[in-house]
């Protein structure tokens, strides 16, 4: 294993620094990819893993104005290294979140819900009654898409892989607000026509798989519809029929939350607007944390292994 648990000396608190006691941090696929070196961001080694989490401010440097002891904070950008009990971070690397949102919601806020929110708002002007189709609908992003779309009055068609406990998964996604849950096989069946009697064809498709799944989703997009790719779990390319490009003028985009944060580093308003909107959804009970398994930090090996198993529908959260 590339990992070990280590006691480190805490850095001295500088004038613009914040001493944070970490409370909880999830294990996300991108964290694993970063460790494997297959992600576009490489941390200089030795490094602390984890890009997401929530902590409580214990102490602030004398020039820190926006944060005070007792505040809850989450990372403002990728690469903070959240799998630790304590850290001293520059003020600008942290975002304050309301103290009354659940710890697990705050711990899982900065990656998946933000990705879902941006993809639902930045690529198509969706109105209540419109529909969205997505694959890997049971992923962290998928669960956030279902709930945020529901709050916006947008219908969701959710594609999942067939699995032994399919009825249980369908039930869970419907409870989150999914309008339709179908398997990849169903995407290719003529019955899809019946589905579109009660729901308009989607103007937006969200793709985190690649390969066949993607090509099948594209088939159901409206003319001038957009497909946004934010992951490639099948490790296969996105294939687009020429006719879809020419005769239906579908648009293809990519999305990477890390890049969005870089592009909007000077634009505090759009970041604050998104965080406010998401925190309000959480406070109203319209956006919940994904299904989580809480693991104490010393059991990190078991948590890492569990996070890499296929068909996992529970996110491993390190309790710090």
Omega before residue 315 within 30° of 0, cis: no
Q: What is the pTM of this model?
A: 0.92
Flag the least confident range among 49-58, 134-143, 309-318: 309-318
Domain ranges of the chain: 17-108+289-319, 111-258
Domain 111-258: CATH architecture, name and number where available: 3-Layer(aba) Sandwich (3.40)
Catalytic residues: 39
Provide CATH code, domain 17-108+289-319. 3.90.180.10
Contact (Cβ atoms closer than 8 angstroms) between residue 311 and residue 288: no
If you average pLDDT over every residue of the chain, what do you get? 92
What is the CA 139 to chain-centroid distance, rounded? 8
The mean pLDDT value for 46-58 works out to: 93
Helices (H) and strands (E) in the chain, counts: 12, 13
The 10s digit of each residue's pLDDT in 221-274 is 999 999 999 998 888 888 888 888 888 899 999 999 999 999 998 898 999 999
**Tokens 């308009």 belong to residue:** 200
Single out the residue of 118, 217, 244 nearest to residue 159, CA to CA. 217
Contact (Cβ atoms closer than 8 angstroms) between residue 115 and residue 224: no
Residues 197-232 as b/e (b if ≥16 CB within 10 A, e otherwise) read eebebbbbbbbbbbbebbbbbbbbbbeebbbbbbbe
Is the pLDDT at 313 greater than 70? The verdict is no
Flag the least confident range among 23-27, 34-38, 101-105, 233-237: 34-38
pLDDT given at position 78: 84
């Amino acid at each position: 294993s590339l990992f070990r648990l280590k006691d480190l000396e805490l850095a001295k608190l500088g004038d613009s620094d914040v001493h944070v006691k970490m409370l909880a941090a999830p294990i996300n696929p991108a964290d694993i990819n970063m460790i494997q070196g297959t992600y576009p961001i490489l941390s200089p080694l030795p490094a602390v893993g984890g890009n997401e989490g929530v902590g409580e401010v214990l102490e602030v440097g004398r020039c820190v104005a926006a944060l005070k002891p007792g505040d809850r904070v989450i990372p403002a950008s990728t690469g903070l290294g959240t799998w630790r009990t304590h850290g001293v971070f520059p003020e600008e690397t942290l975002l304050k979140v309301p103290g009354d949102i659940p710890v697990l919601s705050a711990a899982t806020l900065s990656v998946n819900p933000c990705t879902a929110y941006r993809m639902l708002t930045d690529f198509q002007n969706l109105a209540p009654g419109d529909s969205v189709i997505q694959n890997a609908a049971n992923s962290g992003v998928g669960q956030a898409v279902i709930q945020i779309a529901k709050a916006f009055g947008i219908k969701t068609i959710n594609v999942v892989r067939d699995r032994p406990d399919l009825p249980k998964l369908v039930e869970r996604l419907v409870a989150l607000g999914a309008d339709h849950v179908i398997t990849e096989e169903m995407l290719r069946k003529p019955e899809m026509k019946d589905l579109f009697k009660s729901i308009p064809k989607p103007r937006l498709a969200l793709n985190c798989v690649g390969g066949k799944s993607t090509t099948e989703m594209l088939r159901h997009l409206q003319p001038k519809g957009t497909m946004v790719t934010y992951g490639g779990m099948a490790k296969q390319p996105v294939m687009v029929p020429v006719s879809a490009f020419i005769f239906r003028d579908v648009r293809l985009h990519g999305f990477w939350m890390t890049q969005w944060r870089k592009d909007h580093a000077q634009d505090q308003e759009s970041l604050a607007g998104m965080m406010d909107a998401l925190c309000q959804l959480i406070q109203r009970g319209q956006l919940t944390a994904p299904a989580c398994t809480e693991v104490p930090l010393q059991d990190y090996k078991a948590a890492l292994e569990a996070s890499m198993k296929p068909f996992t529908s529970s996110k491993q959260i390190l309790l710090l």
